[in-house]
Structure 1
Amino acid sequence: MESTESSYVSSPEGPNGALISAAQIAYSDSMEKPTYVRFLVSNAAAGSVIGKGGATITDFQSQSGARIQLSRNHEFFPGTTDRIIMISGTINEILKAVELILAKLLNELYSEESDDVEPRTKLRLIVPNSSCGGIIGKQGSTIKSFIEDSQAGIKISPQDNNYLG
């Protein structure tokens, strides 16, 4: 049986004796709790993330502290020809790994495009159906705020649709 000692907070006081709220404890726990993010990339982009002899992925894992895994060559997400990248670790580790991966992919995209064209690319996240309601929010308020804040086009594919377009 696993010990649960580490999940208990010995004192509800923070620095200088300030009380810590349950929300702050939950937020702090979520920052350290191992989690994962999955998204899709083309086979060529997957090769770029792996790098020659695995050098790039090893470097990204070392810099971020996250674990980065890719589905095997020709093992695609259902209904697509895209491979899956799964990044696991703490939230901060995952954010750093995503930043490194996207910076590499965008840098390569810019180097392939002419100077007059600003490239656009799709990032397709794999999200459990159970999480979609939280992303959409009441009457679409959460997803609308994501779109306004980021200026990104965000779509959620229908639940019964395997292809993420």
Structure 2
Amino acid sequence: MESPDSPYASSPEAPPKRTSQPRSPGPDEKEKSTYVRFLVSNSEAGCIIGKGGTTITEFQSQSGARIQLSRNHEFFPGTSDRIIMISGAFQDIIKAMELILEKLLTEAEENLDADSRSKVRLVVPNSCCGGIIGKGGATIK
């Protein structure tokens, strides 16, 4: 569990992923957790949580990743967006992100307002920006 000072609201631990055969870590997966953070609006965060936390619990059980959101009215500095942090094995994180982005896209399509377009911002440490951009912008292009 997080400490009381943690900026993230607790979500239930993801139950073990159910597969037809036991999953063993590959050579690149050394029981090391990976973390991804991105930003969404308060209403989109509510959509991801779902009524009584059902959606986020379902996403965690389907992906095997842990999904945490910043508390209501605790925003990323300089924005009015909440932080979603996904942790776990790389493939589990990718699956969780697919589920979340698919849900946000579905909600945006159902809501026909032009102003209700979904925006998701990835939070990247300054030390990683050079690797994403690449020399002379080659990688990002």
Same fold (TM over 0.5): yes
Across the two proteins, how many residue pairs are aligned to each other?
A: 115
Match of 1:37 in 2: 36
What is residue 97 of structure 1 aligned with on the other side? 96
Q: Kindly indicate whether residue 112 of structure 2 is the aligned counterpart of residue 133 of structure 1.
A: no
Regions of 4+ moved over 4 Å: none
1:1-165 matches, cutoff 5 A: 28-30=27-29, 33-113=32-112, 121-144=118-141
Give the superposed CA RMSD: 1.9
Gaps of 5+ in 2: 1-25
Greater C-alpha Rg: 1
Structure with bigger helix share is 1
User: TM-score if structure 1 supplies the norm length?
Assistant: 0.65
Distance 1:45 1:121 in 2: 8
Greater relative contact order, per chain length (Cα 8 Å cut-off, separation 6+): 2
Note closer, same or farther for the CA distance 1:57–1:76 as it changes in structure 2 (3 Å cut). same
Worse overlay, 65-74 or 32-41: 32-41
How much identity, in percent, do the aligned residues show? 70
User: 1:30: how far off?
Assistant: 4.8
**Unaligned residue ranges in structure 1 (runs of 5+):** 1-26, 145-165
Q: Going by fraction, where is strand more abundant, 1 or 2?
A: 2
Q: CA deviation at 1:122?
A: 2.7
- C-alpha offsets along residues 13-48 of structure 1, whole Å, 9 cap, x if unaligned? xxxxxxxxxxxxxx9325753101000000000001
